[in-house]
Structure 1
């Protein structure tokens, strides 16, 4: 990061107490990026090893929310709706009026709307800011942030969000960012599902995975996602960046959000069942592109 930009960012948050809740796969590299930029951060995270590492890097740490008392700008990366509800219930009584919560997880629009009301009652400005990108992009500070919520809170948080991301999209004053994240994850999850069928069909005609992925990645259907996953598909090393179990969670959110608004979700429902079937076959903790392995196994059994 440019030293002048870093200095200007630190100056812009001078006098503020910045907090972070949840330093997991995505939250940890993002919190570390703030620390590396010279931002003082108080981190709440239940994992003792993570707390020890962040403490060694200069963060104030705690396994509970006490580290965030009095913070006026808090980021959160949480696993699910239940965790968001629990954290917001605690923060609503700890943060001062006028504080900003930037919540960066993939959660349901329904839950997000619920906590928005709780935060509004507490006078806390709420930014929905789910991210798009991998852990590698989180480490580089080049994620894409999808944001909506309170415009004043957005302007307050933007200098730090810019340290974590290469692109930021402001989408509205409600839960638009939550829906945008689900839109993207629908397409990401569908890509793995249709590739699994396409590769199995091609293999039945004598094509190798290496040949198929080379052509696919140079064709009209090429995408950054297919290029990123090509080596994984060819080598069959499905070390997870994002697991099948996590995709099941996301497609459940996708299906529920669509149905809740009267949108037919026939294709998404089918894709969800594909991921569930792969999980039942023991692949739940492998990368979601392991649908290729699962489908190939099914095809081989039928052959």
Structure 2
């Protein structure tokens, strides 16, 4: 199958490589020469316009940063909604607001295009391994037709409903993830004050009732104190802002998410906006006056 791809960033590139490895031809949208060079280096055909991309593909997949990018990709003048038609499918894997997604749904429904909201959960490493989880909403029959495609770049695929359910679920997952970093950071600072080494504390956590795959994955990052970004502080701030905005609109109280958002704000103001979200371990250790690593 010919797959149009928009967004060859940290998550988009490894996902697209998994799709290509599954036997599909990738036609990548390029905004400029640099983007075209990146796509060509990956072995992809390059489309320099949305019209060219839509005309060459049965399915278009996007991995983009935010609401503004989604609007520009689909709803702006000359964007995808102007060129996609009946029988084609658009899959967006990004973390965006239900409101922005609903705008896309209205535009594509009028064109007879199948629209699947399919945000993914996982890291760049799990993306490279094809082990992501995707939560999908949109037409059930459209999802079922695309399962073989999803299987090329995800391990778990969960259909949640016909409209924006996947958007709400992804924001909920990321809000929970956001809270894990500062809570762990406080706990590690606390145990360091009590004379427990960082390595020992993490070992106990990994063997306790609160053990998670994420904690195991982040153990080396924390022990080495190297917070190369898999999920940046600034990106998490964006996701929390979306969740809090939706909560206000729908009158859902999110007091803990609001407090967590402020901890990321502090890290951002301390120059850590482009570091991994678990850099909060360093933030709280410094605040508590303990060594970050053993």
- TM-score (structure 2 length as normaliser): 0.92
Paired residues for 1:14-53 under 5 Å: 17-46=2-31, 48-49=33-34, 51-53=36-38
Aligned to 1:104: 93
Q: Which runs of 5+ in 2 are unaligned?
A: none
Q: Report the CA distance between 1:156 and its aligned residue.
A: 2.8
* Matches of 2:8 and 2:141, distance apart in 1: 26
* Matches of 2:32 and 2:148, distance apart in 1: 28
1:87 paired to 2:73? yes
1:136 paired to 2:121? no
* Matches of 1:63 and 1:244, distance apart in 2: 32
Aligned to 1:75: 61
Paired residues for 1:150-229 under 5 Å: 150-229=139-218
1:277 paired to 2:266? yes
Runs of 4 or more above 3 Å deviation: 45-51
Q: Report the CA distance between 1:218 and its aligned residue.
A: 0.8
What secondary structure does 2:175 align onto? Answer: helix
Q: Report the CA distance between 1:113 and its aligned residue.
A: 1.1
* Matches of 2:241 and 2:33, distance apart in 1: 31
* Matches of 1:117 and 1:97, distance apart in 2: 14
Contact in 1 for aligned 2:140/2:159 (Cα 8 Å): no
Aligned to 1:247: 236
Contact in 2 for aligned 1:19/1:74 (Cα 8 Å): yes
Paired residues for 1:281-300 under 5 Å: 281-300=270-289
Contact in 2 for aligned 1:196/1:293 (Cα 8 Å): yes
Aligned to 1:9: none
* Residues 3-30 of structure 1: CA deviation (Å, up to 9, x unaligned): xxxxxxxxxx4xxx42111111111111
* Matches of 1:48 and 1:212, distance apart in 2: 49
Pair 1:260–1:204, CA change in 2 (3 A): same
Pair 1:293–1:190, CA change in 2 (3 A): same
Q: Report the CA distance between 1:189 and its aligned residue.
A: 0.9
* Matches of 1:299 and 1:47, distance apart in 2: 47
Pair 1:221–1:43, CA change in 2 (3 A): same
1:62 paired to 2:47? yes
Contact in 2 for aligned 1:130/1:146 (Cα 8 Å): yes
Provide the aligned length of Structure 1 versus Structure 2. 286
Contact in 1 for aligned 2:117/2:164 (Cα 8 Å): yes
Q: Report the CA distance between 1:186 and its aligned residue.
A: 1.3
What secondary structure does 2:180 align onto? Answer: helix
* Residues 120-149 of structure 1: CA deviation (Å, up to 9, x unaligned): 122211100000111111111111111001
1:122 paired to 2:118? no
Contact in 2 for aligned 1:75/1:102 (Cα 8 Å): yes
Contact in 1 for aligned 2:51/2:80 (Cα 8 Å): no
Contact in 2 for aligned 1:102/1:157 (Cα 8 Å): no
What secondary structure does 1:169 align onto? Answer: strand
Q: Which runs of 5+ in 1 are unaligned?
A: 1-12
Q: Report the CA distance between 1:98 and its aligned residue.
A: 2.4
